[in-house]
Amino acid sequence: MTVVVAALLGSAYLLGRSLVPDQPQRHANGTTTTANAPQYADQPFGDEPSGGPTASQDAGPVETGQDGSGQNPPGQVAESDRVFGARTTTGTERVALTFDDGPDPRYTPQVLAILREFDVKATFCVVGENAQSHPDLIQAITAEGHSLCNHSWHHDVTLGERSADAIRADLERTNAAIRAAVPAAPIVWYRQPGGAWTAPVVSVAQQLGMTPLHWSVDPSDWQVPGASKVVSTVLTQVAAGSVVLMHDAGGDRQGTVDALRPILSDLTQRFELEALPTDPT
């Protein structure tokens, strides 16, 4: 009798499980795995690593240059233009649009097409595993004059808490995937997933010849607030020297794509837009 009851209970459990849809799996590195593609969110889950900035610490453009003129001397970025050692502005009057977490075959081509329509160059912060999966898109990005930024191999928001050797291996693996697609492309920028900067990750990036890159305008498009909200946030917060954070991968990014045309229609009338340079001294 006991065996029969146990068998019946086991069958009932399996039947119940079969009626519940599979749930995405959340990983400590900031990735939610689904049946279709990696889903990234460019903010840390839970507590930030020690030393990582919060939204309230994001610095805006410099108000007083190091030479007292109100402008930065050429080639220099003031400390007030940094977050935990990472650049938050272009250091000039120009505005830079940056797109994280790609490339993605659904959204990256749309972003490239709209940028081409407005003759605007941008910077793409690419995830190593996506660069490896879509080398053709890495080639398309560079062929159209955009610049590249290392965004870690697997969008690991806790990467800065690991050993220097582990950080170095991650960043080098990502650079290798990018260079497998575009051997000659400069990779001189690094953006830590979630902006979770720590001294070790900043130090390793610099040792590898990459300048840590944060941002000054964040419309939180990764939260999928809708195109109109993304447009409103960017247009009201942008200023001379802003680095704007957006996403072309890591989830449903159609809202970002839909926001891009009205954003560019406005910004191209007010600012000169640039891809971040390949010599960020």
In the DSSP assignment, the letter for residue 135 is H
d(CA 262, CA 157): 31
247 has catalytic annotation: yes
Two tokens at 71? 């402008």
DSSP calls for 159-216: GGGS-HHHHHHHHHHHHHHHHHH-TT--EEEE--GGG---HHHHHHHHHTT-EEB--S
d(CA 71, CA 74): 9
* Dihedral sign from CA coordinates of 113, 114, 115, 119: positive
* Residues 182/139, Cβ–Cβ less than 8 Å: yes
End-to-end CA distance of the chain: 78
Q: How far is CA 181 from CA 39, 82, 133, 138, 144, in A?
A: 23, 31, 10, 6, 14
Annotated catalytic residue within 42, 100, 101, 156: 100
Burial of 181 (0-12, 13-18, 19+ CB in 10 A): buried
Annotated catalytic residue within 146, 151, 155, 247: 247
Active site residues: 100, 247
